[in-house]
Structure 1
Amino acid sequence: MIKASLRFVWLAVLAVVAVQAQAEGTVKIVDQYGIGSLLLKVVKDQKLIEKHGAKEGLPIDVQWNTLSGGAAVNDTLLSGAADVATIGIGPLLTIWDRTRDRQDFRAIAALGAVPVYLVSNNPRIKNIKDIGEQDRIAVVSVAVSQQGRLLQMASAKAYGDAEYARLDRLEVSMPHADATTAMLAGSSLIDLHFSNAPYQYQELENPKIHKVLSSIDILGGPSTGSVAAASAKWRSDNPKTYAAVRAALADAAKLVETDRAQAAAIYIRQDGSKLSPAFVEKILGDSEVSFSTVPQNTLQLGTFLHKVGVIRHEPKSWRDYFFNDDPSLKGS
């Protein structure tokens, strides 16, 4: 009887070990459209996760999906449909705040500092205070997207913290590609679009569209816009796969830095873009654009979101919502 019980326990242990072993070597990644997550597109195109796994003797099955908007991406992370995902700093702070001491979602790495612009085709609108009840602002996810959070920050600066959500009711949820088409066509549905790259650059090619505000204006300088995020549990259960993801992102950053033409070609290929290589290369060469896995100027948004009550826990450092894999990194 005792031997049978011990055998049962041993089989149970083996089953747990087998499940853990099966977990290593598979990663489900959800990306978003746009140049802001170029590093992940390079990782996918060049099969960099698979290459780093192979170096460690671990075949890695990488499964990819692409969605539009931070809210949808957060849902995939929370449901377990994705292990790693591209999200903006605003959505990251929200999911970090709500899952502390549970799944504990944090950023693996920054994906770059690519500014986002609020643009308008209405000549009446010169600054945020010109936006009125008759106007409509396209964002990928009302209030909760990266652009939505930045607009709240801009509203607080213009009208005071109590009015941070003043413009939320004027927002319309719309994918960036659809909003760009509407703006260029002069549609009556929207007259502003809080955009991202490459769409904002396409829009500004039209002389009837102008920039009202940028993330650089709101945050006082360049800042990381998007990150790759995962849960602490997935990280601890899959240390080799996690390490391969981190190493792949670092390699992708080097490629973008050293070969702009190849990076542009990869973006066009992976996003199915019809933009010319020269146009994309021009964006990548913009002095406001950079790609680094080290976070830049992110804490300010977290401090604001806590101050107005959007998140309950105040981050004291960028390391609170990033995994501390390299204590020597000098992020912000």
Structure 2
Amino acid sequence: MNEALLANNLDIVSAGVPPALTMWDRTKGDVKLVAALGSLPNYLITTNPNVRTLKDLSEKDRIAVPAAGVGFQSRTLQIEAAKLFGADNFQKLDQISISLPHPDATAALIAGGTEVNSHFSSAPFYYQALQGNKAVHKVISSYEILGGPATFNVLYTSTAFHDQNPKTYAAFYAALREAANWINTNKQGAAETFIRQQGSKLSPKLVLDIINDPENDFTIIPQNTFVYAAELHKLGVLKRGAGSWKDYFFPEAHGENGS
């Protein structure tokens, strides 16, 4: 996806905040963030009854994440690991993490009895796992690690696309805002639209429950993204330092009450 963006085969792409910041960092600011796609927590969940905190995890446990070591989930765990075990050991939990898609990891936890007994999971998957197996419980959420509600996924693009297509960019940004406002004022309709557009087999009730969950905020305003920029810079993951969140977002977002 990132290669396609840099090769001008894609205009705008989406990923978690840490991977987006990595692109900003590696391109020396030629790639910047467009907008947030909502503040939604990720839960670290497990079937191990002895694991109540991250310190309880042992070399026998296995944490499923979509992209071990580099994805949103792993970077979030690295920030917390640095607090718990020291900056030199920020990758401690990477040693027991494995790359596995969310659906496969969810199925493993619901079934039980597999090597994978833990999963840093996003919606709707942690909802399904918690409902599907009574042994599954939450250990910690990304909100707890980051100090409050925080952006999960963002959109980002190249400075060239932004500068060369001002009308398209402005229309796209306005449409994002309109969509977010519509979701928040038409939650039933949003649930129905999601199921129809995705051909989803999720129950309408579950989708509506997710939209209504007060932890989930469908907004284009970035929240707590600077925690990633600051902490990952301290750990050496990001070479470039940022003075504020506005350094890596395009100006159209600067009028928002972001962070």
Question: Scaled by the length of structure 2, what TM-score is found?
Answer: 0.95
**TM-fit CA distance, 1:187:** 4.2
Gaps of 5+ in 1: 1-72
- 1:74 counterpart = 2:13: no
The correspondence of residues 244-255 of structure 1 with structure 2, limited to 5 A, is 244-255=171-182
The C-alpha deviation readout for 1:45-76, integer Å capped at 9, x for no partner, is xxxxxxxxxxxxxxxxxxxxxxxxxxxx4344
The C-alpha deviation readout for 1:177-228, integer Å capped at 9, x for no partner, is 1111111111413111111011011111121100011011101110111111
Gaps of 5+ in 2: none
The C-alpha deviation readout for 1:121-158, integer Å capped at 9, x for no partner, is 11121110111111111111111111110010111111
- 1:179 counterpart = 2:72: no
Preserved contact between residue 221 and residue 253 of structure 2 (Cα < 8 Å): no
* Aligned residue pair count: 258
Letter in 2 for 1:279: L
Letter in 2 for 1:177: P
Q: Over aligned residues, Cα RMSD in angstroms?
A: 1.4
2:205 to 278, 282, 286: 278
Q: Based on CA coordinates, which of the two structures has the bigger radius of gyration?
A: 1
| Structure 1: distance between partners of 2:200 and 2:124 | 10
Secondary structure in 2 aligned to 1:154? helix
Secondary structure in 2 aligned to 1:302? helix
| Structure 2: distance between partners of 1:234 and 1:292 | 23
The C-alpha deviation readout for 1:161-190, integer Å capped at 9, x for no partner, is 111011112111111111111111114131
1:91 to 19, 37, 48: 19
2:250 to 314, 318, 323: 323
The C-alpha deviation readout for 1:275-326, integer Å capped at 9, x for no partner, is 1111111111111111111111110111010001001011111111110115
Q: Give me the identity figure in percent.
A: 45
Relative CO higher for 1 or 2, CA cutoff 8 Å, sep ≥ 6? Answer: 2
Preserved contact between residue 114 and residue 288 of structure 1 (Cα < 8 Å): yes
- 1:256 counterpart = 2:183: yes
- 1:112 counterpart = 2:38: yes
| Structure 2: distance between partners of 1:114 and 1:137 | 20
User: Aligned residue for 1:36?
Assistant: none
The change in CA–CA distance for 1:308 and 1:200 in structure 2 (over 3 A counts) is same
Secondary structure in 1 aligned to 2:252? coil
Question: Scaled by the length of structure 1, what TM-score is found?
Answer: 0.75
**TM-fit CA distance, 1:327:** 4.0
Letter in 2 for 1:140: P
- 1:310 counterpart = 2:233: no
User: Aligned residue for 1:141?
Assistant: 67
Secondary structure in 2 aligned to 1:109? strand
**TM-fit CA distance, 1:259:** 0.6
The correspondence of residues 1-332 of structure 1 with structure 2, limited to 5 A, is 73-100=1-28, 104-205=30-131, 206-332=133-259
Preserved contact between residue 74 and residue 91 of structure 1 (Cα < 8 Å): no
